[in-house]
Amino acid sequence: MLRLRPILTPGSLHRRFATVAGPHALVLLEHRAGVIESGSLSALTAAQQLGGQVTGLVVGAPDQVKGVVEKAKKLKGLTNVLHSSSEQYAHSIPEVVSPLLEKLLSDNTPYTHVVSAHSSSAKSLLPRVAARLDLPAVSDITSLEHDSTSNATTFTRPIYAGNAIATVRAPESVRVKVFTVRSTAFKASAEDESAQAEEKAIDPVEVSNPPTQHVRTDLTKSDRPDLGSASRVVSGGRALKNAETFKATLEPLADALGAAIGASRAAVDAGYADNSLQVGQTGKVVAPELYMAIGISGAIQHLAGMKDSKMIVAINKDPEAPIFQVADVGLVADLYEAVPELVEKLKQ
């Protein structure tokens, strides 16, 4: 009897595995006066941590877009730059810009993630886009981790004014993960002169009779560093009594340090400072190298906006003030005596 023995040759047997496409993030690059916002550069850094391709999106008026695109092409980590120009995009109105994003994120979209800074504009735009596409949105994230095996992304974000950290997981069933980034949690992406991302123009989606129209933009002009990105910040609270005292006390100290000026909500509500200077849960979140809290008690809402600062210095005459619990250096003293003396020492 003859027995036949099967002979296996290399390659005659092999296993097939389903492959999952890698992440491809679309980053909204916000800009003002031809300069890409620092928060968008932090969002770009976050997008790179996903471990896949990163495409930037620049939207604006025709005279705005060209210069911004040239700068975006030199950003480290970008593989592509999409740009769309229209007079309707001169101001980032959510009801006008959202149809363009909805088109880009249709069912056959190559993008797995949409990323933006947690800016006032993006907080209006991205949740709108996500809702219209029946997608969840995660806001103000401070870290992320993408699992390429399960195609799930895990985020952390502060809740309860920063007193707790929520861990949120977006599973594979969420076809596009939409999230905004807390800019102080990620380093701004730098320029790379050797980089040359590929650019592509996309047609705008014109919106007839938009329900919202831009009326005007009022900007607070200052020669000081921008509060959101300054390396040093001097903030004042309600103890400064009035707007004149606020200015006379803090400006010499800020000038000596080359610092931006901030304010607590109590100081803003009392009319001591402009709303654009408010630091806290309902204001700006900052994380400078040096944060000086002058006459600020340290309410939980204020601490949420500055407790990630590298060095916190507090001056308050109340030794029980909550600000001392987070301060690296605390001085129990009358601010009207301590601040002028400190200014004189800095000038020497």
What's the confidence (pLDDT) of residue 20? 54
Q: What is the pLDDT of residue 288?
A: 94
Tell whether the model's pLDDT for residue 11 goes beyond 60. Answer: no
pLDDT, one tens digit per residue, over 254-312 is 999 999 999 999 999 999 999 989 999 889 999 999 999 999 999 999 999 999 899 99
pLDDT at 214 (0 to 100): 86
Q: What is the pLDDT of residue 101?
A: 97
Give residue-wise pLDDT tens across range 23-66: 999 999 999 989 999 999 999 999 999 999 999 999 999 999 99
Quick one: pLDDT band at residue 141, thresholds 50, 70, 90?
Answer: very high
pLDDT confidence bin for 12, thresholds 50/70/90: very low
Residue 348 — very low, low, confident or very high, per pLDDT cuts 50/70/90?
confident
Q: How does the average pLDDT of the chain come out, rounded?
A: 90
In 3D space, the residue among 41, 57, 50, 55 whose CA is nearest the CA of residue 101 turns out to be 57
pLDDT at 225 over 80: yes
Residue 232's nearest CA partner among 310, 343, 328 is 310
The reported pLDDT for the residue numbered 109 is 94
Is the pLDDT reported for residue 4 higher than 80? no
Query: Between 16 and 92, where is the model more confident?
Result: 92
Q: For the residues 170-180, what does the mean pLDDT come to? A: 96
- State percent of the chain over pLDDT 70: 94
The arithmetic mean of pLDDT across residues 4-12, rounded, is 46
Sheet containing strand 143-147, edge to edge, reads 143-147, 152-159, 164-170
pTM for this model (two decimals): 0.82
pLDDT tens-digit profile of 63-81?
999 999 999 999 998 999 9
Nearest C-alpha neighbor of 238 from the set 266, 276, 261, 263: 266
Average pLDDT over residues 98-124: 94
